[in-house]
Amino acid sequence: MPSSVANEGYKFQSSRSSPSGSPATVPDDVEVVDEALTLLQLETQTIPQDVAVPARSRAGWQIKGSSLSLNTHNRIRNIVESLKINPNPQKPMIPLSIGDPTTFGNLKAADETMKAVMKSLESGKFNGYAHTQGHEASRQAVAKYSAHQRPNGVIDPSDIMLCSGCSSALEYCILALADRGQNVLVPRPGFCLYYTLAEGLNIEVRYYDLLPEQQWRADLVQLESLIDENTAALLINNPSNPCGSVFDKAHLQELVNICERHYLPIIADEIYEHFVFPGSRHVAVSSLTREVPVLSCGGLTKRFLVPGWRMGWIIVHDDQQRLGTAKSGLKNMCGRILGSNTIIQGALSDILTKTPQSYFDGVIDVLYSNAQLAYNLLKPVLGLKPVMPNGAMYMMVGVCIERFPAFKDDTHFVQELVNEQSVFCLPGSCFEFPGYVRIVLTVPRNMIEEACVRIAEFCEANYKKDNQALIEESLLDDAHVHY
C-alpha cells in the first residue's frame, strides 16, 4: 500500500493466521508500519521505574532561556526594529521592504492552485499524519516536476523530503551537514536566514563575496580561500535574494569545480528557480555534476504565490553515494515535526501539473516590467547605482553614502527616507552588504513608479555635489544666462 494513501482506509491485518492457516502477510508498505511504531514510541515515552529522579535542589525560580534560543537572531528584524521611524503623514506608506509577493493583492495564486487545495480538503483523505518525508504520491509529483535537475531526468521519490517551507528545508540541510565548530560558506549579500539558522548552534558562517560590477558573480578566489578542513558545505542561492542575479552555466561550473577539488557538498537554495527574466536561463547546479553531492531546496512559496502554505522540499542529488550518514541525518530531521502540511501534500500533484504556463508567464511579466521601470527611474538619480536584476523579485540599489553627508550609513539613509517620503526599503546591512538598499518588485506598477519618484526627490534634496561639480554647474548656468 503506498504511503500516499496511508489515511485513505488502512485495511487491518491480524497477526494471527489467515483463514487458510498460513501466516498473515506484512503490508507492502513497511513505511506505514514504521511510522506507526515511531508515533507510538513518541506517545509512550516514560521514565523507567528503576531510574532515580534527582531531588529538587533549586531555592527558587531560576528559569533561563537556552543558549540556542538566546543566540538565534533575525538580522532584518533586529535592524528594522532599531530604526526611529515616523513616516510623513502627508504621503501614504509604500513598503518596498516586504518579501511576501501576496502583500499588495496584485499577485494572487492561480485558480487551479486554489481548486487543488479545496479538492484535497474536501476529500477527507489527508487529515492524518503522513510519512515524515511526505506522502509517496506527493514526492512522486515533485520528482516529475523537478526532473530538469538531473541530467537523465529521473529522480527517485525516496530522494525527496517534503518540509514546512523552503526555510525548513534549508535548516535541515545545514543541520544535517554541519556540526558545532564547523563552518558553512554563504553568499554576501545573502538571505539573512542562513546566519539565523546556523549561529545558535555554533556553526560558523563564512561569507563569500558577490561582485556587483560583475552582475553579482561570486569572487572565486576569495571564496576558495575560506575553505578549510572544518568547512561543511557551500551554499549557493540562485537566483539570488537580495540581488536578483542569475548565474550562467559557466559560472556555476566554476563553483562546482571548487567543490570537487575540496570534496565539499553543495546546498542549493533554488526557491526562485522559475523566476527568471527574458534573456536569462536558470541552470540547476545538480544538472552539472555527478561528482559533487547537491541538496536542492525548493517549494511552492514564490512561483505559486503561496508563502503561507509552508510547502517546501529537499531533493538529494548524490549519484556516487558520497553523503554517507548525512542522508540518514536528513531523514531524521524530517521526524522532528512529523512531516509537513498534509492538506497541501494532497494537492501537490494537481498544483504542479494543472497550473497553466500562462499564469507563470503573467507573473514574470509583472516582475520584469517593474524591474525595468525601477531601473530606468533610478539610474539617472545622483548618488544611486541600481543593478538591473535578471530574476527573483528584488533589486539592489547602490547608495554613494559619502554624497549624502547628513546620513552616517545605509540604515540611517533608509530611516530618513521613510520619515521624509514614506518609502520603506531594506538597508544592505540586513544582507551583510552596507552601502546598498533592497527594493521589492512585486508591488503594483503605479506604486513602484510613485516610490521611485519619491526616492529621486529624497536624493535630490540630500545629495551634496563636490566642488568641481558645483563649478561646472555654475559655468553651465552662466552660459545659459549669457546666451
Examine residue 23 and say whether the peptide bond preceding it is cis (omega within 30 degrees of 0). no
Cα distances (angstroms) measured from residue 307 to each of 167, 338, 466: 11, 20, 46
165 and 216 in one domain? yes
CATH of the domain at 465: 3.90.1150.10
* Structural domain range at position 161: 111-354
**pLDDT confidence of residue 264:** 98
- Residue-level pLDDT at 305: 97
In a shared domain, residues 346 and 215: yes
The pLDDT of 263-283, averaged and rounded, is 98
Is the residue at 207 inside a domain?
yes
Give the domain-ending residue among 330, 354, 378. Answer: 354
Q: 18-22, 48-52, 216-220: which has the highest mean pLDDT?
A: 216-220
What whole-number distance in Å separates Cα of residue 360 and Cα of residue 353? 13
Quick one: pLDDT band at residue 74, thresholds 50, 70, 90?
Answer: confident
151 shares its domain with 194: yes
Domain assignment present for residue 446? The answer is yes
pLDDT above 50 (res 149): yes
Same domain, 240 and 179: yes
Does 128 share its domain with 161? Answer: yes
- Answer positive or negative: Cα dihedral of 233, 238, 241, 243: positive
User: For cell 518525508, what's the residue?
Assistant: 133
pLDDT band at 12 (very low <50, low <70, confident <90, very high): very low
Q: 53 lies in a domain?
A: no
Residues 319, 212, single domain; the answer is yes
- Does a structural domain hold residue 45? no
**Range scoring the smallest mean pLDDT among 102-111, 190-199, 242-251, 463-472:** 463-472
Choosing from 335, 354, 373, the residue where a domain stops is 354
Q: Which residue shows C-alpha cell 536584476?
A: 389
Span 210-215, mean pLDDT?
Answer: 97
- The answer to whether position 32 is within a domain reads no
Same domain, 314 and 367: no
Which CATH number goes with the domain that contains 243?
3.40.640.10
| Same domain (yes/no): 303, 412 | no
Are 95 and 152 found together in one domain? no
Whether residue 117 is found in the same domain as residue 184: yes
- Considering the domain architecture, whether residues 221 and 329 belong to the same structural domain is answered as yes
Confidence of residue 451 (pLDDT cuts 50, 70, 90): very high
- Asked whether the predicted pLDDT for residue 16 surpasses 70, the reply is no
* pLDDT for the residue 56: 66
- pLDDT at residue number 42: 44
Report yes or no on 60 lying in a domain. no
Let me know: does 455 contact 421? Beta carbons within 8 Å.
yes
- On whether both 420 and 403 belong to a single domain, the answer is yes
Please give the mean pLDDT across all residues of the chain: 88
Helices (H), 238-290: 249-262
